[in-house]
Amino acid sequence: MRRHRNVKIVATLGPASSDHQMIRELFDAGADVFRLNMSHGTHAEQKARYDIIRAVEAETGRPIGVLADLQGPKLRVGVFAVGAHDLEEGDRFRFDLDPAEGDGRRVQLPHREIFAALQVGSRLLVNDGKIRLRVERCGPDFADCVVTTGGTISNRKGVNVPDVVLPLAALSDKDRADLEFACELGADWLALSFVQRPEDVIEARELARGRAAILSKIEKPAAVDCFAEILKVSDGIMVARGDLGVELPVHSVPPIQKRLVRACRQAAKPVIVATQMLESMIESPMPTRAEVSDVATAIYEGADAIMLSAESAAGRYPSEAVSTMDSVARSVEGDPVYRDVIDSSRSTVNRETVADAIAVAAREIAETTDVAAICAYTQSSTTVRLAARERPKVPIIAMSSELPVLRRMCLVWGAHCVLTPVLERFKQAVVNAAHAAVEFDFATSAQKVIVMAGVPFNTAGSTNILRVATCDEQLLSRTDPE
C-alpha cells in the first residue's frame, strides 16, 4: 500500500478514464484522489465512476479520496448571426441584455449582475483573455467598450471580469443540485468554484452539513485579496492557476502560488496546485521540460497535492501522465535540496496548543532518534494534519476507525491511511500502530515508532499524548491487558 513519496496526486476522471481497467491503472500508477468534474457528464456517469473507485478501493485495501468539483457560475456571451466576428484593437463594441443575435458591433451578455458591478475603466476579458476590452460607458443593461487586444469573438465564449467583485453567488442552481448529489453519493471533498468571499464558502458548508469537506478554489483576484478569511472557513484550498492567469498578470501567479501554499501549510490545511501541469501529455506521451519543472516547483514549495485535469480525463496517455507525476515527485523528494527547502520554510506561526506541541515534538524526536514512522490516530483528521504540517523526514501513518476521515486524509501530505478497529484505550492504539508499521513495511520489528493520539480516546481534537514504542515489544504484548 505504501507510496514512496509524500506529495499526493489528484487525477481527474473523464471520457478517457471511465472504465474499471483504466481507473485501476491510474491508481496503480500513483493516483491518491480522483476528481469528478461536475462541469461535464451526467449524474449517472459520475455515479458509475464513483462506484468503480470504491470497487478499486475494496480490491486494494487502501482508502481512496473522491473530490467532486462544482462548476460554479459560467459567464458567457450570447450567439452571433454568423457565428463569429473579428475584433481589432481600437474597435468599439457593446455588450447588452438584448437577446438578438450579435454582429460585429454588439452581442448579448446575459448577466445583469455584471452590468450592475461594472465601472468606467473596468476590463472585460473574453475567451480566456485572448480578447480584452475596456469599459468606456456603462449602465444597468449595457457596456460600451473599446477593444484593447483584438481577436475572434464567437458564440458563447467565456467572459472574465477581473476588476470588480461580482454580486454573484458561488453556487448556481446547477451547483446546488450537484452538491446534494455529490454528498449523497459519498464524495469526500467538494471543490467550490468562483469563490470571491468567505461567505461563499460558508454557504456551501451549510448545504453540505458535514457530509463532505469544503475545498475553495482560488481563481479570482477578489479571492486572493481576502485569502486569509477564506482559508479560515475552508477545509482545504486549490490554487487554480488557469483563471488566475487570465484575470491577473501571468507574472504575478508564481509568487501568489508560493504565498498561498505557505499559508495553507501554516494553517495545517491541505492545498492542491492545479491547472496545466502536464498539459502537453494530452497528446504526447512525454511532457515538456518546462512542465516537469512546474510540477517540481509545486513539490519543492511543499504543496500537499498536484493535480491532473484533461491529461487524465480526456488525454491519450492518462496513466503515463500519473506515472510521470509520480516519478517527478520521487526524484524531487529524494533531492537533498528538497529537505533543505522544506525545513527552511517551516514556520512557528499558529503553534499555540498542546496538539501543536505534540506534533512538533514528534517531528523533532524523529529527526534526532532512530524512529521509523510517526503513527497518528485521529477521529477528525486534526492530529494527522498537524503532523503533516511539520513535514517530517519519516513516513506518517494516519490511523482511524472512521473510513470517511481516512478518505479525506488521502489529500494530506505524507499521510499513509490505515483503517483500524474501534479502539478504547491508548495501549491498544500503540499495539495497533506497531502492527501496521511492520505489516505495511514502514518499519521492521526491531525499529521504533512514534504514536500520537488523544486521551480520552475517540474524542476529536484531543491530541495530548506521544509515546515512542519498539515494534517487537508491542507485537509480543498484543493480547496483554493494559
At position 342, the amino acid (one-letter code) is I
212 phi and psi angles, rounded to 5 deg = -150, 150
- Find residue 131's DSSP bridge partners: 126
Q: What is the spatial distance between Cα 244 and Cα 224, in angstroms, rounded to a whole number?
A: 9
What distance, in Å, lies between the first and last C-alpha atoms of the chain?
Answer: 30
State the catalytic residues: 35, 76, 217, 275
Asked if 305 and 269 touch (Cβ cutoff 8 Å), the reply is no
